Amino acid sequence: MEGNRGSRLLPATERIAALSRVSAALMDELNEERLLHLIAETACELTGAMFAAFTLRPMSGEGQPLVPSEGHLFYLAAVVGATPKQEALFRQMPLGGEGLLAPIFRHGVSVLVSDALAFLHKPDSSQNTTSTASRTAARQAAFAYVHGQLPKEDLRSMGIPRGHPVVRSFLGAPLLDHSRQVRGGLLLGHTEPNQFTQEDEVVLVGLATQAAIALENAHLYRAAQMRAQEVDRIFESIVDGVTLIDDFGNILRENSTARLLREALTESPGGERAIEELLFAPAQRTLNDEAVQDITVIINVDEDETREYLVNASPLRLPPALSGPLVDTEDPPGNVSQAGSRAVVVWHDITEARRLLNERREHAETEARRALLQLILDELPTSVYLVRGHDARLVLANRAATRMWGAVWQIGQPMHEFLTENGLRVFGANGRPLVTEQLATRLVVQDDMSVTIRQHQETIRHPDGTTLPLLVNAVKLTIPNLDGLSAQTATQQRAKWEPVAVVVHQDVTALKEAEQLKDEFLSVAAHELRNPLLVLKGYAQMLLLQSARGKGSALAEWQAEALREIDLATQRLDELTEDLFDVTRLQAGQLVLHDEPTDLVALTRRVVKRQQMTTDRHEISLSTILPHIVLSLDAGRMEQVLSNLIGNAIKYSPRGGPIKVSIHKEDDPEIAVLSIRDYGIGIPEDQQARIFSRFARADNALASGVGGTGLGLYLSRELVERQGGHLWFGSTEGQGSTFFIMLPVGGGYASYGNDAPSSL
């Protein structure tokens, strides 16, 4: 740029044109840098300056200065007239309120220096211009200048750094914002002295004012934009649906939640009515000054989905648009536009909240029912508990159950774990220990188990040795899921299905005691019967014998017959008392067995022969390929068992027929199996389970009028089992029965009795 006296030489029209270019740019140009550049260029053009520069003070987003006006913390915003190299140098240079620039930045006044070098303060022209003393001197000079106490010629220059074009003429004006804070400076320079006039100073001050307005506008614009973006973001991030509707029902704005629902509804059948209910009706009502607060609207989104919304609407009255210059005024209240009423409709999706509420209520109800059930169960005198799964995990138990077990069974704990943990043992009807799998509670929850187990005799033995005889009833329940968790899907429920059973324990200690009394009575009765019986039997037999030998007066035939009947009856009575004795001995654990090597084949043959002599309507056969098989047995007791079983086969086949006895041997394990097959009345299926109990007799046996005590099978099984064997049967009512005896070969007696509870 030429260093001539530009401003005075430019015609007024060009100057006006240049100024109006700046004014036009102020309105259009929002890019701060380009604008400042244009102003700097215009300043050069109008004043004939060789260089022009804008320095600005860093400001916060809120328009607050971030650095003081002193120091060198301003930055270079635009440069004109410098080579790129010089510009780069300027950008590195500290700029701010020191030396010539101090009045501009620190006091907000313009500075015009005709020849900066001519008045250069000699001692500070060297490199130590940045020293504290120099800065203080510069500050004082600036202060004096501003207050008219110092001619501008005495202002101290900053010195000219290396590479900086030599500036002799200097003109600078501050950029002041609306609160007259220094926002920056517009600085002009020329290498020749006396280049700027007072008029140039006026022009520059005018340009600097325009630049300040431009900066402030740009700042306001940026702030407004930021605020608008903020509002947009907040609006979009609201999880509730928010819609702005005008009084013609046009949707002016909506956030994404509102838009997504509206679009989904538009496509669904009945969606229009839903949109009406959710949006337009509340908007219309609020515009009609009706209150629309927390109105519940239920919408069928599709066939199986219903959603529930809380709708609120309020009118939005906007102030009229402001015109004229930007002024800082509060909106006067009540000054609202009536013409463009709008409604804001906000709807809050409460489907999930409602579902949770319902779930919580249902849960509370279930809990209350459960508590009531527990209360009722706890008041029951009998032990009741519920188990689930094949391992019988506890679901709930009443107080009596805890009392009977003498231990707390934890909810969810498998039965086996509970028993082991608490040192509990359970014994069966025969006094033998039962493993957990044999307990009614475990049996009932097995898949192959029928739904009910009735009157299972079990005896709990507590760790302190006390025992509790029980009758156990267990019923499998057909409820699909105990939890009743409504949140679970049907598949989850199916996957979780497990057998569930309710188990009731009845304490039969009193019954057992009564039974014991009965046993004692039987024992006494058997004893008391025995002596007179023996006397009767002895005399009857003596009379028959003496008469047969011809001693004394001969007996008439009817008398002899009567004596034979007496003899037979006493024989039967004797057998009965023997059975009673055996029962009481067994109960008291006093039955002693004497084992000895015994040939089972020979023994069976003897019994078959003897029994055959008692009947001519039955044909008893023994089939075996074994010539003999020697076992360690109490021969007398085994004869008693076989006599009883073959005797039963005869008794319960009143129409006669074959009775097939067979013996065979099996290896691994080595056992002998003896079976007795008859074709008699059989045993009804529903009574088979209890037929080995004492005094148990089947209904069909009673109905057929065959006499009996119901003690034979009980004694037989006890005797076989105490010799290490097993006794069982298969029977079909009306078709006959087969009784089986299994005995170990060469095995001696199985260990028995050590664990038997003493009360059994």
Residues that bind ligand ADP (CB under 6 A): 644, 648-649, 652, 678, 680-683, 691, 696-698, 701, 708-714, 737
Return the DSSP state at 278: I
- The Cα 167–Cα 153 span in angstroms is 14
**CA angle at 584 for the pair 578 and 588, rounded to the nearest 5°:** 140
- The Cα 500–Cα 396 span in angstroms is 11
Q: Minimum distance from CB of 731 to ligand ADP (Å)?
A: 7
Q: Minimum distance from CB of 647 to ligand ADP (Å)?
A: 8
The H-assigned helical ranges of 624-721 are 635-651, 699-703, 712-721
- The Cα 743–Cα 720 span in angstroms is 8
Q: With b meaning 16 or more CB within 10 Å and e meaning fewer, what string describes 653-668?
A: beeeeebbbbbeeeee
Q: Look-up: residue for tokens 């907000």? A: 108
Reduce the DSSP state of residue 431 to 3 states and report it: coil
**CA angle at 331 for the pair 326 and 332, rounded to the nearest 5°:** 130
Looking at the Cβ atoms of 425 and 677, the one nearer to ligand ADP is: 677
- The Cα 532–Cα 56 span in angstroms is 139
- The Cα 316–Cα 318 span in angstroms is 6
Please, which residues bridge with residue 624 across strands?
Answer: 663
- Output the CA–CA distances (angstroms, integers) from residue 654 to 22, 97, 661, 737, in the order listed: 136, 137, 18, 13
Q: Minimum distance from CB of 457 to ligand ADP (Å)?
A: 17
- The Cα 459–Cα 446 span in angstroms is 21
- The Cα 8–Cα 197 span in angstroms is 9
Residue nearest to ligand ADP (CB): 708
Please, which residues bridge with residue 383 across strands?
Answer: 505
Q: Minimum distance from CB of 687 to ligand ADP (Å)?
A: 8
Q: Minimum distance from CB of 598 to ligand ADP (Å)?
A: 23
Q: Which residues contact 713 (CB under 8 A, 6 or more apart)?
A: 644, 648, 691, 692, 696
- The Cα 441–Cα 503 span in angstroms is 6
- Residue 170 tokens read as 């200097």
Q: Minimum distance from CB of 659 to ligand ADP (Å)?
A: 9
Return the DSSP state at 246: E
Q: Minimum distance from CB of 529 to ligand ADP (Å)?
A: 17
Looking at the Cβ atoms of 55 and 644, the one nearer to ligand ADP is: 644
Q: Minimum distance from CB of 569 to ligand ADP (Å)?
A: 16
Q: Minimum distance from CB of 704 to ligand ADP (Å)?
A: 9
In this structure, the strands spanning 657-666 and 618-624 are: parallel
- The Cα 708–Cα 575 span in angstroms is 12
Q: Minimum distance from CB of 693 to ligand ADP (Å)?
A: 9
- Residue 357 tokens read as 């509420």
Q: Minimum distance from CB of 578 to ligand ADP (Å)?
A: 13
Looking at the Cβ atoms of 523 and 687, the one nearer to ligand ADP is: 687
Q: Minimum distance from CB of 645 to ligand ADP (Å)?
A: 7
Looking at the Cβ atoms of 176 and 691, the one nearer to ligand ADP is: 691
The gap between the terminal CA atoms of the chain, to the nearest Å, is: 128
- The Cα 692–Cα 648 span in angstroms is 13
- The alpha carbon torsion through 202, 204, 210, 212 (nearest 10 deg) reads -110
- What residue type is assigned to position 686 of the chain? D
Q: Are 634 and 670 in contact (CB under 8 A)?
A: no
Residue 433: in which H helix or E strand, if any? strand 433-434
- The Cα 214–Cα 177 span in angstroms is 10
Q: E strands along 196-304, which residues?
A: 241-246, 251-254, 292-302
Q: With b meaning 16 or more CB within 10 Å and e meaning fewer, what string describes 78-101?
A: bbbbbeeeeeebbeeeebbbbbbb
- The Cα 663–Cα 623 span in angstroms is 7
Q: Minimum distance from CB of 610 to ligand ADP (Å)?
A: 17
Q: Minimum distance from CB of 701 to ligand ADP (Å)?
A: 3
Q: Minimum distance from CB of 517 to ligand ADP (Å)?
A: 22
Q: Minimum distance from CB of 455 to ligand ADP (Å)?
A: 17
Looking at the Cβ atoms of 116 and 522, the one nearer to ligand ADP is: 522
Q: Which residues contact 725 (CB under 8 A, 6 or more apart)?
A: 741, 742, 743, 744
Looking at the Cβ atoms of 96 and 712, the one nearer to ligand ADP is: 712
Q: Look-up: residue for tokens 């309507």? A: 617
Q: Minimum distance from CB of 433 to ligand ADP (Å)?
A: 25
- Residue 459 tokens read as 């005896």
